Amino acid sequence: MIESNIYPLGDKAVTVQFGSQIDKDTHKIVRTFVRHLETESWPGVLEWVPAFTSVTLYYDPMQTDLDKLTDHIQQDIQQMEHEEEEAPRLLEIPVCYGGELGKDLEYIADYHQMTTEEVIKLHTEPEYIVYMIGFAPGFPYIGGLSPKLATPRKTSPDLRIPAGSVAIGGQQTGVYPIESPGGWHIIGQTPWELFNPGHQPPSLLRAGDRIKFTPIDFKLFEQERGKTPWE
């Protein structure tokens, strides 16, 4: 049985909480619920925002109300109990590690008393999960980082992080899709363009995707710069 907690968020939104811990089972439920929202017609629902363990629905109170929406949500959750998870996409993202593109790689290595080669090996071994998109347009919060690489965020954030920078922050890894400030440690950069407002959807990555990072050298980085799987 899928456990959930439904509660109002102001007078135009409702949050459906599916758990309190970030894990694969809760993520599966969140993704299935979002898939229903994407494929069904929910009267009065304007948009929705999935998070690690919840989904918030924003609605037009002139078209629906909290009670009607709650009933619809509860019926939908009952249907979900008998469904299988949709097969996720697997994307292999090229990354040039270290040097000017990964200025914090040596810090990560020193912090964990290992070589930069060991850091790269540990970072490229797992198959990661994109749990949610947030912070900045298209920014993926990615789970599955080796505990051996978990590193506290910087006490003083960088003011400018280039688009495509691959980073470690706490127990997660991520990719900055646009230039922005940030407090994660930069270990490399992908040549791919991960966010383009001219594309539909504008973000290459989405919640539920599986990711593998593949190491490349600087020559290949230059050859692939600006490319994207959209092309």
Give 30-76 pLDDT, tens digit per residue: 888 988 888 888 899 999 988 888 999 999 999 999 999 999 999 88
The mean per-residue pLDDT over the stretch 124-131 comes to: 94
pLDDT at 21: 82
pLDDT at 85: 65
Q: What pTM does this model have?
A: 0.78
Q: How far apart are CA 227 and CA 206, in angstroms?
A: 18
Predicted confidence band at 171 (pLDDT cuts at 50, 70, 90)? Answer: very high
The mean per-residue pLDDT over the stretch 89-108 comes to: 96
- pLDDT at 231 > cutoff 60: no
Helix (H, G, I), strand (E, B) or coil at 27: helix
Average pLDDT, the chain: 90
Residue type (1 letter), 207: A
Q: How far apart are CA 12 and CA 34, in angstroms?
A: 19
Segment 73-89, tens digit of pLDDT: 998 888 887 766 667 78
- The helices-and-strands tally (H runs, E runs) of the chain is 5, 13
All residues at 6 or more sequence positions from 117 whose CB lies less than 8 Å from its CB, including other chains: none
Q: How far apart are CA 57 and CA 47, in angstroms?
A: 6
pLDDT at 230: 60
pLDDT at 84: 67
The mean per-residue pLDDT over the stretch 168-193 comes to: 94
The mean per-residue pLDDT over the stretch 179-199 comes to: 92
Q: How far apart are CA 4 and CA 33, in angstroms?
A: 11
Predicted confidence band at 28 (pLDDT cuts at 50, 70, 90)? Answer: confident
The mean per-residue pLDDT over the stretch 85-101 comes to: 89
Residue type (1 letter), 172: Q
Lowest pLDDT segment from 26-30, 60-64, 156-160: 26-30
The mean per-residue pLDDT over the stretch 194-214 comes to: 88
> Is 80 exposed, middle or buried, given 0-12, 13-18 or 19+ CB atoms closer than 10 A?
middle
Residue type (1 letter), 160: R
- pLDDT at 193 > cutoff 80: yes
